[in-house]
Structure formats: structure tokens, C-alpha cells
Chain A
């Protein structure tokens, strides 16, 4: 159990699914000449702006430019795409600072970056660099096998992975302003992403079916603050934006996750590990740009099968080859990190 003992923070809501503001003085909030910065509304607000969009993993400025050109709402800077981390092994860390700065200079869309679970100094560095969102990510090698980062202490907002409602609400109680279901990164196999998204929604529906006086035991079972369980019951959804991640490799995969209730999609290896049969870098880049753009369009029109067929027809048959998670050993799975 990764409980870091941080006091449960109640998150109020206006009933529209928006977390309402906490005043200055909480959650790293402060006042400057123009107004109140780093309030809860402001932190959770950027995730609201990303909804209906695709966030793409990139390792350098060139990939970031391809992602922005294809219509990504944000890019995620990381050292290696997950399928390479899987293949090569070793310790996966925060991306090199110079790489992150190159990526920041190369695009005008928000730049996110991954820090290791519990590595609050990597997070401090990312905040100092002016990163727009920090992903405390199980895809990197955990720095702390017990505690997550106390995300309330930061001005930069955090996104965290979750496999189920308990994990999601624990991350929110630690200060995460956005959640993504974990899936299984770097596999190109959508089954884990589906499992985690279905699990979260099934548990939300169950919480909604409970009587008020049954929420205390639900909170005990979920190992989360009861205020957050109450919040979920009232909203009928997580109190923050929830994207899907980990295994999206085609436009249809992305639309599947949207139809299952994701508010947007992270795509990692699915873009920059497509087109690997092409002999030249230029041709690979072209396939990847095509794939990226097709996934963006499929997420916009996720309920329109004709449109998904059309954008799928526009890309070559060169999705990432992938690896079935059913064939993998339990210790090869990343999603169990940081529960």
C-alpha cells in the first residue's frame, strides 16, 4: 500500500464535473501581481482544455514538431518511448534537461514530462523548467517503492496513472489534478487499457448505488478519504479529468477508449514505433505523422464509424507490431508499480 499519510483534501465541485476553486494558500497556491496562481481550479483547468485531444510521447524536438503538426493537444517528454524501455531494460529516468528544453523551444502546445514515482526532486526540476504538467509515471523506474510525491507542494499540476478507482482517488488525495488509466505502456496491446477504464467506471457506478451511510466502508475498502468517495457519488465521475493510456496503437483503439468513457488519449509507442518497416528516416517520419493525425481525427469523431474508417484508410498498414500482454510474465508488467 502506497499511503503517504498526507491529510485528505476535500475537493468541492459545482456539480458540472468541475472541481471548484480552493483559495490561495492551499495546494501550492500563491498570489502574484495579476491574480492567484496554482489554485486547484487553475491546476485542474488545463486538463479540461486538453479534453477530446491526443497527448503524444516524444523523445526529442523533431518528434515534438511532428506531434504538434499532426494536431496533438500536448506532448509528453520522456527519455525513451515505453517499447524501447521494455526492449532495452536499464533504469528509466526523467528525460535529459537539455532534451526537455529543446522540446519546449520547438512547440507552442503544452509540454508535459515524466518524473519517476516518488522522485520529488525530478519533479522540482521539471517545475523549475516551467513544464506545464508533470506525469508521475510507472513507465519510469520507481524511485520510491512506498511513497508517491506529495503533489500538493507543487505549483505545476500533476497527472498520475491508475488501474482502478482506489488508485485514482489515492493519487487525487496526494494532489494529482488529472488521471490517466495505466494500460500497459509500450505493448500496443489495448487489453489492459480497456480493463482499467472499465474497472474505474464500474466502481464509480457501484459507489453511486450506495446509501450515504455505506460510503464509510466503501472508503475503507478503497483505501481512500471518504470525502473523495462522496464527491464521486455526487458527480458520477472522477473529480478530475481522466484520459486513457498504455496500449493505443491505431485510430480504432483511440476511439474505443473514448467510447468507453476516456476524456482524451495518451499515445506513446503507437506513433513513433509505427512505420518501422520503412527503410529511410524520412519515410518513417511520414508514416508516423500520418498515424498521429489519423488518431487525432478519430478521437474527435470517436462516435462516427464512417469517419474512423476513412481516417484508418488514409494510413499505411504499418501500426506498431506490439506484444501481447497475455504472453508476458507478471514482473514484466509496468502497471503494478505505484498502487
Chain B
């Protein structure tokens, strides 16, 4: 729902479209009334109130960020308050510590993430998840060659764990990481949750400016 502080303003959220399932994220954000756009360049990102880094191959996206000179500027923008949500590969790239990634991650969320934590595609699965702060029935979470969050820093809040206690969703202020794919379901609540995070950030910036 629109923030009361910004009546009539529509959120604009970019989905990083270097590689991966960005089309599915765009559709889910639009279902939440967001002006969702594909972004492939820094100039396109600069017009956005938030950024989604989609599922895909983390090794590929990491290389493309470096090849197109986007890694450091993107890190800077996220540190300066750009709300950002990473799903699966995106969550890997947000982490400060990824032992199994052969490139530097964006490295903005204080956590350690293990890639392919469940094994090969044959071990990919779906399961019902309770997400802290989300109302209604459990979320059907799709895990595709998924990572897990092995360690979180003090500033990071754990939002969801599997039955065995492994962390699969976390938040650090304006940053959100999920090791599963809400964009592959019919359930747009997680996208609504992130849109709300983007509005909170806009409100905070408006307060700071006034």
C-alpha cells in the first residue's frame, strides 16, 4: 500500500538484468503496484528507489559486474542507502564473506554464505517457510541449487530458518537476502515486504532532509 508520507508517488524499483530470472521479479513487483524496470547500467540504477539482484549464476553475475565496471560504484550506492534485495545468486553477491565464490562479492551484508549448500539440482526442493514479520500462511519457498547463510553479524536480523535451523532469509537495515525464490511462486508478499523497505528508506531520507 502507498506510504501516507508520499501520497500519489509510485515506487520505482530496478531489477538487475545482467543475467538470471529478472522477468519474474518484474512481474511480482508490478503485482505490488511498483514501477519495476530492467536495469543493466549504473545510470539506469540511479533512477531507482530500490534494487533487486535476481536469481541466476553468481559466478556469471559477479564477472559481468566487474567486466562492466559496476562492482565498486554499485557497492558505494548500496552502502549509501540504496535498498537492495538479493535472491539466491543475489544473496550470495550481497554477502561480505563467500568462501566458494571465485570473484569479489559486492560485500555489503555482514554474513557468510555457502554456495550450492544442498548439493546438485537433484537436491533442489520446495518447502513451507514462516517469515518473521510476515502475516498470513507460510510462504512456499523454492530452493534451486540454493545457498544458505552460515553466519550472520550483529547488525543482521534472521527472518527465516529451515526446520533444521539453517538460515535462509535475513535483513540488515535496508538490505534483504533470501536464499530461495519468491519470484517463482504466485505469492507476492515478499516483494510487498521489500517495497515497504524501500518506502521506509524514502521516508527516512525525507526526514533527514527536512
| CB–CB B21/A300 < 8 A | no
Closest A residue by C-beta to B31: A16
Q: Residue A21 at the B interface, CB < 8 A?
A: yes
Q: Which stretch, B112-120, B170-178, B192-200, touches the partner chain A?
A: B112-120
- A34-B164 contact in complex given A46-B144, A49-B55, A73-B57, C-beta closer than 8 Å: yes
- For the complex, is A266 an interface residue (Cβ under 8 Å from B)? no
Q: Which of A48, A110, A132, A297 contacts B21 (CB 8 A)?
A: A48
Interface: A50 (CB within 8 A) = yes
Give the CA-CA distance A52 to B22 in the complex, in Å.
9
Partner among A72, A73, A111, A300 whose Cβ is within 8 Å of the Cβ of B40 = A300
B104 at interface by CB-CB < 8 Å: no
Q: Knowing A49-B56, A49-B88 touch, does A108 contact B100 (C-beta < 8 A)?
A: yes
Closest to B28 in A: A16
Is A45 a contact of B116 with CB atoms below 8 Å? no
A49 touches B126 (CB 8 A): no
A109 touches B57 (CB 8 A): yes
Looking across the interface, which residue of chain A has its beta carbon closest to that of B181?
A45
CB of B115 within 8 A of CB of A156, answer: no
Q: Which of B124-154 contact A (CB under 8 A)?
A: 124-128, 140, 142-145
Known: A34-B162, A41-B142, A108-B100. A49 touches B57 (CB 8 A): yes
CA distance A16 to B191 in the complex (A): 15
- Which residues of the other chain, A, contact B144 by a CB distance below 8 angstroms? 42, 45-46, 48-49
Which listed residue, A20, A51, A68, touches B59 by the CB 8 Å rule? A68
Task: Kindly state the separation between the CA atoms of A52 and B57 in the bound complex, as whole angstroms.
Answer: 10
A51 contact set on B, CB distance < 8 A: 19-23, 56
- B3 CB-CB contact with A under 8 Å: no
B86 to chain A minimum Cβ distance, whole angstroms, is 13
Given contacts A18-B24, A49-B89, A53-B57, contact A35 B127 (CB under 8 A): yes
Give every chain B residue within 8 A of A32 (Cβ-Cβ): 125
Whether A127 sits at the interface, judged by CB under 8 Å, is: yes
User: Which range contains the number of A residues in contact with the other chain?
Assistant: 35 or more
Within 8 Å of chain A (Cβ to Cβ): is B163?
yes
Is B184's CB within 8 Å of the partner chain A?
yes
Q: Does chain B have a CB within 8 A of A99? A: no
Q: Is B27 an interface residue (CB 8 A)?
A: yes
Residues on the A chain within 8 Å of B119, using CB: 130
Most buried by A among B19, B59, B122, B185: B122
B186 interfacial contact with A, CB 8 Å: yes
- A53 x B60 contact (CB < 8 A): yes
Contacts of B122 in A (CB 8 A): 37-38, 127, 130, 132, 155-156
Interface hits, A18-51 → B, CB 8 Å = 18, 20-21, 32-39, 41-42, 45-46, 48-51
B209 interfacial by beta-carbon distance below 8 Å? no
Chain B residues with Cβ below 8 Å from A111 are: 120
Flag if A35 contacts B126 (CB, 8 Å): yes
Say whether B67 faces chain A, with CB atoms less than 8 Å apart: yes
A120 in the interface (beta carbon within 8 A): no
Question: Please, how many angstroms separate the alpha-carbon atoms of A127 and B184 in the complex?
Answer: 24
**Which residues of the other chain, B, contact A21 by a CB distance below 8 angstroms?**
126, 140, 185
B42 at the interface (CB under 8 A from A): no
Task: Answer yes or no: B121 CB below 8 A from chain A CBs.
Answer: yes
Q: Which residues of A contact B55 (CB under 8 A)?
A: 48-49
Q: Is the CB of A41 within 8 A of B184?
A: yes
B64 at the interface (CB under 8 A from A): yes
Q: For the complex, what is the distance from the CA of A50 to the CA of B185, rounded to whole Å?
A: 17
For residue B17, CB closer than 8 A to chain A, the reply is yes
Choose from B56, B115, B118, B126 the contact partner of A41 (Cβ within 8 Å).
B126
Look across to chain B and name the residue whose beta carbon is closest to the beta carbon of A17.
Answer: B23
**Contact of B95 with A by CB under 8 A:** no
CB of A56 to closest CB in B, whole Å: 11
Q: Which A residues are in CB contact (< 8 Å) with B28?
A: 16
Residue B123 is within 8 A (CB to CB) of chain A in the complex: yes
CA distance A36 to B125 in the complex (A): 5
On whether the beta carbons of A297 and B126 are closer than 8 Å, the reply is no
- With A21-B126, A297-B67 in contact, do A14 and B23 touch (Cβ < 8 Å)? no
Judge whether B79 is part of the interface by a CB distance below 8 angstroms.
Answer: no
A-B contact pairs, 21 of them (CB 8 A): A17-B27, A18-B184, A21-B140, A21-B185, A34-B125, A34-B162, A34-B163, A34-B164, A37-B123, A45-B184, A49-B56, A51-B20, A51-B22, A51-B23, A52-B18, A53-B19, A53-B57, A71-B63, A74-B57, A108-B115, A300-B17
